[in-house]
Structure 1
């Protein structure tokens, strides 16, 4: 998790895979993401899972947990707009996919029975990031209205062999709705999802091809 990475976009890296280090989950038909905060670095604790997730660093500055938490609280109190967050999901070792832009709308610190952990609530949005905020990577990320389940992504990735269906590129791939979500296309079936590179996804827009 990175709040205002290099002064630009806020980014989180999530995983729903079995054995993932954090208990991230998706609710509300893919519209809501519950993202767990991060543990203390391994150099500060023999077992990071045995101590509370930190709000402050040893130097007294806010951790990433603290920055996200305060942004959520300020939004709830009407002091600022919701922070826009770019969400990436790990579906396989070395493979991250872009899940779109979410708003950070809530945060809480809860006990898991042994320690305190942060839970952040993010809601999918149609809002777009400013040109400056999209400079996290030198790519043209596309917004998505609904998250595609991880199991469907894995099925599509295997079927399409990790390549753009149009040109065969393996760079900057996106999971594209063949029948756009805005026109009633489903995110739940691999038959309606294909891999496209950013260029061909942008060219397609919401047209049925």
Structure 2
């Protein structure tokens, strides 16, 4: 059975994984023919209000603002747009249309690959999610899109293998930041800084928790796979 590996990547490694030179936008509809990509952040200085809900498998992702121009100095006072002035869809519009088609049973849920910024230069692959809904909320001064993504049982686009969603929980950002600093960005077993993963010392399926750094550590791929083999 596939598992959420919670890979740790640099910005360059993330771009290479998606076969692009840069990832400058947070929302990237159909960046890959099989899926879309979003970049999220729950850091205090993040420009948008992204969050993982208490169920541990649902992400709320805020849509994106109009770009700054000589006429738009502060987009934070303007409603987030579904379309441009030319009538073409913005990224908000593309993602919203995918939800509309899903809810009308015209297409399946859009598969979205989610990366999260943990610290400057440090990203974590959260896995694949199903884009299942969106809403438009008043944030106090303007309307914003909020997209709802649920962790997908499909975590490998080249395989039909599924994960057990009942026994899977995402590790919260604040826990990851604490673990990264505590473990000095290295595998706790061998000190490697390559191919790192955030690992549950005691898996959630065995009663472990994602809510505290005491049960989370950094492991390199070799030691993560060795541990998985022992558990299975």
**TM-score, structure 1 normalization:** 0.84
CA drift at 1:156: 0.8
Give the number of aligned pairs.
Answer: 199
- Cα RMSD, aligned residues only: 2.4
- 2:52–2:172: 8 Å Cα contact kept in structure 1? no
Aligned partner of 2:68 among 21, 28, 42: 42
Deviation at 1:49? 0.6
Pick 1 or 2: higher relative contact order, CA cutoff 8 A, min separation 6.
Answer: 2
Say which SS state the counterpart of residue 156 (structure 1) adopts: helix
Equivalent residues of 1:178, 1:208 under 8 A apart? no
Query: Offset at 1:95?
Result: 1.6
Residues 113, 20 of structure 1: CA spacing in aligned structure 2 closer, same or farther, 3 A cutoff? same
Q: Which residue of 1 aligns with 2:117?
A: 90
Q: 1:90–1:33: structure 2 CA closer, same or farther, 3 Å change rule? A: same
Give the CA deviation at 1:191.
Answer: 1.9
Quick check: 1:177–1:185 contact (8 Å CA) kept in 2? yes
1:197 corresponding residue in structure 2: 220
Query: 1:137 maps to which residue?
Result: none
Following TM superposition, by how much is the alpha carbon of 1:199 offset from its aligned partner in structure 2, in angstroms? 4.4
Displaced runs of 4+ in structure 1, greater than 4 A?
none
- Residues 201/67 of structure 1: CA separation in 2 closer, same or farther (3 Å cut): farther
Change (3 A) 1:85 1:40: same
The more displaced of 160-169 and 98-107 is 160-169
Structure 1 residues 130, 199: closer, same or farther in 2, change over 3 A?
A: farther
Relative distance call for 1:8 and 1:202 in structure 2 (3 A) is: farther
Give unmatched runs, 5+ long, in structure 1: 133-142
User: Are residue 30 (structure 1) and residue 59 (structure 2) matched?
Assistant: no
Q: How does 1:27-176 map to 2 (within 5 A)?
A: 27-43=53-69, 45-131=72-158, 145-176=168-199
Matched, 1:11 2:34: no
Question: 2:28 maps to what in 1?
Answer: 2
Any stretches of 5+ residues in structure 2 without a counterpart?
1-26, 160-164
Q: Deviations over 1:79-98 (max 9, x none)?
A: 11111212122222222112
1:129-166 deviation digits (Å, cap 9, x = unpaired): 3139xxxxxxxxxx993111222111111111101223
TM-score, scaled relative to structure 2: 0.76
